[in-house]
Amino acid sequence: MLSRTADHLYWMARYTERAENLARMLDVNSRMSLLPQGTEILEQGWIATLTIIGLMDLFRQRYDSVTSSNVIAFMAFDRENPLSICSCVHAARENARAVRGTLTSEIWETLNATWLEMRGTSLRSSSEAEVGNFFEWVKYRSHVARGVIQGTMLRDEAWHFTWLGTYLERADSTARILDVKYHLLLPRGEQAGGAADYYQWSALLHSVSAFEIYRRVYRDLITPRRVAELLVLRDDMPRSLRRCMSQVHMHLQSVRNAQSAETERRAGELEASLHFGRIESVFEVGLHEYLVRFLGQVRDLSDRVSRDFLVSAAD
Amino acid sequence: MSATSYDEMHASDGEVREHYRTFASWLARTPSDRVAHKRAEADTLFHRVGITFTVYGEDAGTERLIPFDIVPRIIPANEWKHLAAGLKQRVRALNAFTNDIYHSQEILQAGRIPAEQVLCNGQYRPEMQGIDVPGSIYAHIAGVDVVRAGEGEFYVLEDNLRVPSGVSYMLEDRRMMMRLFPELFALHSVAPVEHYPDLLLENLRSVAPSGVNDPTVVLLTPGAYNSAYFEHAFLAQQMGIELVEGQDLFVDDEFVYMRTTRGPQRVDVIYRRIDDDFLDPLVFRPDSMLGIPGLLAAYRAGRVTVANAIGTGVADDKSIYPYVPEMIRFYLGEEPLLSNVPTFVLRRPEDLAYTLAHLKDLVVKEVHGAGGYGMLIGPAASKAELEAFRQRILRSPEKYIAQPTLALSACPTFVDAGIAPRHIDLRPFVLSGREVTLVPGGLTRVALREGSLVVNSSQGGGTKDTWVLER
C-alpha cells in the first residue's frame, strides 16, 4: 500500500487511542481530586499529569493557575493545545479524511460523527458529573471506532498499520498513566499503604478499566507490586505493556519489508523482556526508572516504524 | 424567472407533462410532513457521510454541503436517446480535433478554424505536439454541460474536457433518493447509473500503454483540501484503486512508480484530477508541489497514460467552443445533433462592438474562467457592475466571449416557501476509450435563488437526482 496511506492510518489510530488515553489519564486525577485533601495536593496532582503528558510549559504560557477547571479546559477543549482531546479527535478525523477511500464508509462515518459531535460540545460547568460524562463519552467513541475497525476492515496491510498505531500509542499511554502515581503526593499524615494511597492506586486501576480485573485476578488487597504486575507483565490484560508489545511485534511481522529487520528485532527483544521478566526486577530498578526507559524504547520503535514504512525512501 | 422559460414538469397550459405524471400524483398524495422529514434526513445523512465540498476564499478547509433537492429531474427515453447520440458525436469530434491539433493540424490547413486562435491559445501545449497517445484518445472523461431553453431544445453550454467533476453527486444523489423514497423507484423504471465507476475503470484500463496486460490505475488528487476531494476519494474507493498525491509518485528511468510500504510499484494509468499546469514542475509551473517531476518525459516515452491527456484544454476553451459544430462536420462528416449557444468572440471587432452595445442583455464569460467566477449576467447586473465589466472587457477583449441570456428551463424545487420552479442545467459524463459510452443520467444542478441562472455549487447551487426513464 502507499506509504502515505499507511502513515495516515497509523496516525488515525494513534490519535484515536490518544484521545481515549488522555481522557483516562485526566480521569485518574479527577477521581483523586474527590479525596479530602488540600488544594496543594490537588494542584500537585494536576501538575503531575501535565508533566507526564509533557505539556506543563505550554499550560503555564496559557493559564495563570493550576485549577481543575483550567486544566480540563486546556486538556479537553483547547484547540491551541495540539495534544488536547479535541485536537486529537480532530487529527484522527483529518487523517481518516485523507484516506477515506481506503477506509470502509462505516469507519469514516464513525470518526467524522465523533468530530462533528465534539465540535458541538462544550462543558457547561466543570462539575464532577459533567466532566466525568465527557471522559466517558470520549472513551465510548474510541470503543466504537475500534469496534467498527474490527468489524468492517479487510485484514490487509491497512489493518496491520492501524493496529500498529493503536498498540504503540497504548503502550506509551499505559506507561505514562502508571507513572502518574509516582509523581503524586500523599496528604500530610498519610502513609504509603494507608487509605489515601489505596485510593490513588484504585483510581489508577479504574482509569485503565482494570479495577474489576484486578479483583478477579488477585482476589486480594491492592498493592503497588500487583498493580504494576498487572499493567506491565500480564499478557491477558488488554492494556498492559506486554500485551501491547506482543501486538506491536505481531503486526510488525505482518508488514515486514526489506529494511525493517532491525525494528522487528527490537520489538521482539522488548516483548521477550516483558514476557520473561519478573516484577521483582522491575522494582529493583525502580518502577519510575523502568517506565522512563520503556517510554524511550517505544519512542525508538515509533521513529523506526516511520522511517521503515511511512516516509518512503524509495528514491 | 423569465416567463418564456421551459418548465420541465408543466406544459404551457398548466397540465403536468406525461413523464412527470406518476411523480406528481405521488407528491400530491404524500403527506407534506413526511416529505419535510425526509428532506431533513437527507441533510443529516449527507453531513454524516461527509459529502461536502471545500469553498475557496473562505477559511481554509471550510466544508459545506451542496444542497440536495428531492424533486427529481426526469428525462423521457426518447429525449435521452437524442441527447446521448448528440453527446457521443460531440465528444468523438472533440477527440479527433485534439488529435489533429497535436499532429498534422489538417483543420487549420483547411482554414476551418483560424490557426492563431488555436496555436496562440494559452491552453495549447506545444509539449504535446507529435506525441501519440493510446487510441488517439485525449478526453477520456468529458462532462458536457447541457441546458434547455426556448421551447425545450437542448443546447451545449460548454465541453469540460480537463478535469470535469460532479459525477460523485450523480451517484450519491441516486443513492440518497433510493434510500429516502424507495417506493418511487417501484413506480418508475429509472435507468440505473450505479455502474459508472466500473465503466470508468474499464475505460481507464483500456487506454493503458501497449504491452501492459494488467495495468495499475491510480487517481491523482491535489489533496484533502481540494474542493472536489470528496469525489476523488469516492471514485478511487468505488474503483478500488489507489488515491495518490504527487508526493506518492516518482519517475525513474521514464517509468512512474508509487511509493509503497513494500517499495516502489509501477503505475501505468494516471487518472489525474490536477490541472496541466501543476502536473510536472520540470515542464510546467516550477513551483507546483502537487505534481511529479519527470512525468511528462515518461508520458512522451509512452510509459504511462495520463487521463485526461495533457493539453485537452485547447478543445474546451470558450474561444474554441464556437467552432465545435465545424469540427463535427469536418471530422465526422455529420451534421451536429446538438446546438451550440450563439457566441460572440470578443477578439473579433464586430462581435466586440455588438456586445458592448448590448451588454445588459448578454452573459459575458471569461474564456478561461470556471465555476461561475468572473462572469457577468447582463440582465441581473446593476449599472455600476455593467460599467465595471465594460472596462474589464475593453482592457483585454480577447479574454471574453458573450452569449445571449438563455431562458434556462426550470424544474419544481423545494424552497422556503414551498415548491417553486428553479433554473437547472445538466452535466452528463461521456467516457471515451475503446468505445464511447455514457451512463443514462448526469448531474442536474439547480440555481436555488429565485430567478438566478448560476447553478455552480460555489455560487449557491444545489443538485437533483436525474432520472432517465427506460420507457
The neighbouring-strand residues paired with B218 are B242, B270
Q: Which of B229, B243, B250 shows the shortest C-beta gap to A315? A: B250
Q: Which residues of A touch B257 (CB under 8 A)?
A: 314
Among B100, B145, B85, B132, which residue's Cα sits nearest to residue B315? B100
The 10s digit of each residue's pLDDT in A24-71 is 988 877 777 777 777 888 888 899 889 988 999 999 999 999 988 899
Q: Give residue B187's domain range.
A: 18-341+406-468
Helical residues (DSSP H) of A99-223, grouped into ranges: 105-119, 128-152, 157-183, 195-207, 211-218
- Interchain pair B263, A258: CB under 8 A: yes
Tell me, what's the pLDDT at B379? 86
Tell me, what's the pLDDT at A183? 80
The 10s digit of each residue's pLDDT in B257-273 is 999 999 899 999 999 99
Confidence of residue B58 (pLDDT cuts 50, 70, 90): very low
pLDDT of B195 strictly over 90: yes
What is the distance in angstroms between the Cα of A126 and the nearest Cα belonging to chain B? 29
Confidence of residue B63 (pLDDT cuts 50, 70, 90): low
Report the C-alpha gap between B108 and B106 in whole angstroms: 5
Long-range contacts of A256-264, Cβ-Cβ distance < 8 Å, separation of 24 or more: A257/A308, A257/A309, A257/B261, A257/B262, A257/B263, A258/B262, A258/B263, A259/A308, A259/A313, A260/A304, A260/A308, A260/A309, A262/A304, A263/A301, A263/A304, A263/A305, A263/A308
Instruction: Please answer whether residues B279 and B306 qualify as being in contact, where contact means their C-beta atoms are separated by less than 8 angstroms.
Output: yes
Q: How many CB pairs below 8 A link A and B? A: 73
Tell me the three cell numbers of residue B360: 445588459
Instruction: Please answer whether residues B4 and B407 qualify as being in contact, where contact means their C-beta atoms are separated by less than 8 angstroms.
Output: yes
Cα B61 to its chain centre, rounded Å, is 23
Identity of the residue numbered A44: Q
Ramachandran region, residue B400 (left: φ > 0; alpha: ψ -120 to 50; beta: rest) = beta
- Interchain pair A1, B260: CB under 8 A: yes
Report the C-alpha gap between A258 and A247 in whole angstroms: 21
Confidence of residue B117 (pLDDT cuts 50, 70, 90): confident
Tell me the average pLDDT of chain A.
90
- Interchain pair B261, A257: CB under 8 A: yes
Q: Is B277 within the bounds of a domain?
A: yes
- Interchain pair B259, A312: CB under 8 A: yes
Number of domains in chain B: 1
Q: Is B254 within the bounds of a domain?
A: yes
Tell me, what's the pLDDT at B391? 92
Tell me the three cell numbers of residue A134: 465527557
Q: Is B355 within the bounds of a domain?
A: no
Mean pLDDT value of segment A272-278 = 96
Q: Is B65 on the interface with A (CB under 8 A)?
A: no
Instruction: Please answer whether residues B10 and A66 qualify as being in contact, where contact means their C-beta atoms are separated by less than 8 angstroms.
Output: no
Q: Is B185 on the interface with A (CB under 8 A)?
A: no
Which of B40 and B98 is assigned the larger pLDDT?
B98
Assign A210 to helix, strand or coil: coil
Q: Is B242 on the interface with A (CB under 8 A)?
A: yes
Mean pLDDT value of segment B108-134 = 92
Mean pLDDT value of segment A94-117 = 91
Instruction: Please answer whether residues B432 and B439 qualify as being in contact, where contact means their C-beta atoms are separated by less than 8 angstroms.
Output: no
Report the C-alpha gap between B140 and B138 in whole angstroms: 6
Identity of the residue numbered B396: S
Instruction: Please answer whether residues A304 and A264 qualify as being in contact, where contact means their C-beta atoms are separated by less than 8 angstroms.
Output: no
What is the distance in angstroms between the Cα of A306 and the nearest Cα belonging to chain B? 10
Express the helix, strand and coil content of chain B in percent, nearest 5 each: 35, 25, 40
- Interchain pair B224, A108: CB under 8 A: no
What stretch of H or E contains B199?
A: helix B196-206
Strand order in the sheet with B344-345: B344-345, B400-404, B362-366, B375-377
pLDDT of B373 strictly over 70: no
Q: Is B368 within the bounds of a domain?
A: no
- Interchain pair B242, A112: CB under 8 A: no
Q: Is B204 within the bounds of a domain?
A: yes
Report the C-alpha gap between B297 and B207 in whole angstroms: 18
What is the number of other CB atoms lying within 10 angstroms of the CB of residue A261?
11
Instruction: Please answer whether residues B274 and B222 qualify as being in contact, where contact means their C-beta atoms are separated by less than 8 angstroms.
Output: yes
Q: Which of B47, B243, B250 shows the shortest C-beta gap to A314? A: B250
Q: Which residues of B touch A94 (CB under 8 A)?
A: 224
pLDDT of B56 strictly over 80: no
Tell me, what's the pLDDT at B194? 96
Q: Which residues of A touch B224 (CB under 8 A)?
A: 94, 97-98
Report the C-alpha gap between B378 and B355 in whole angstroms: 10
Q: Which of B242, B256, B261 to mutate to test the interface with A (most CBs of A within 10 A)?
A: B261
pLDDT of A193 strictly over 60: yes
Which of A22 and A119 is assigned the larger pLDDT?
A22
Instruction: Please answer whether residues B430 and B436 qualify as being in contact, where contact means their C-beta atoms are separated by less than 8 angstroms.
Output: yes
Which of A183 and B369 is assigned the larger pLDDT?
A183
Report percent pLDDT > 70 for chain B. Answer: 94
* Pairing, β B429-432 against β B436-438: antiparallel
Tell me, what's the pLDDT at B206? 96
pTM, to two decimals: 0.83
Mean pLDDT value of segment B151-159 = 93
What stretch of H or E contains A62?
A: helix A56-62
Chain B residues 34-53 within an 8 A CB cutoff of chain A: 47-50
- Interchain pair A97, B50: CB under 8 A: yes
Identity of the residue numbered A10: Y
3-state secondary structure B252-285: ECCEEEEEECCEEEECCEEEECCCHHHCCCCCCC
- At how many degrees (to 10) do helices A224-232 and A241-255 cross? 10
Q: Is B132 on the interface with A (CB under 8 A)?
A: no
- Interchain pair A100, B49: CB under 8 A: no
Which of A229 and A220 is assigned the larger pLDDT?
A229
Assign B410 to helix, strand or coil: strand
DSSP designation for B340: E
Mean pLDDT value of segment B34-39 = 91
What is the number of other CB atoms lying within 10 angstroms of the CB of residue A165?
29
Confidence of residue A129 (pLDDT cuts 50, 70, 90): confident
- Interchain pair A4, B234: CB under 8 A: no
Provide φ and ψ at B167, rounded to 5°: -65, -25
Report the C-alpha gap between B194 and B272 in whole angstroms: 22
Tell me, what's the pLDDT at B1? 39
Confidence of residue A192 (pLDDT cuts 50, 70, 90): confident
Confidence of residue A314 (pLDDT cuts 50, 70, 90): very low
pLDDT of A313 strictly over 60: no
Tell me the average pLDDT of chain B.
91
Tell me, what's the pLDDT at A123? 60
The 10s digit of each residue's pLDDT in B317-329 is 888 999 999 999 9
pLDDT of B31 strictly over 70: yes
Q: Is B392 within the bounds of a domain?
A: no
Report the C-alpha gap between B211 and B177 in whole angstroms: 43
Q: Is B300 within the bounds of a domain?
A: yes
Tell me, what's the pLDDT at B51? 67
What is the CA angle A245-A166-A259, rounded to 5? 65
Among B168, B166, B148, B133, which residue's Cα sits nearest to residue B86? B148
Q: Is B262 on the interface with A (CB under 8 A)?
A: yes
Q: Is B394 within the bounds of a domain?
A: no
Mean pLDDT value of segment B160-168 = 94
The 10s digit of each residue's pLDDT in B37-48 is 998 898 888 877
Tell me the three cell numbers of residue B99: 488529435
The neighbouring-strand residues paired with B148 are B154
Tell me, what's the pLDDT at B57? 46
Report the C-alpha gap between A183 and A49 in whole angstroms: 8
Name, of A29-33, B51-55, B204-208, B289-293, the range with top average pLDDT. B204-208
Report percent pLDDT > 70 for chain A. Answer: 97
Report the C-alpha gap between A177 and B58 in whole angstroms: 41
pLDDT of B59 strictly over 60: no
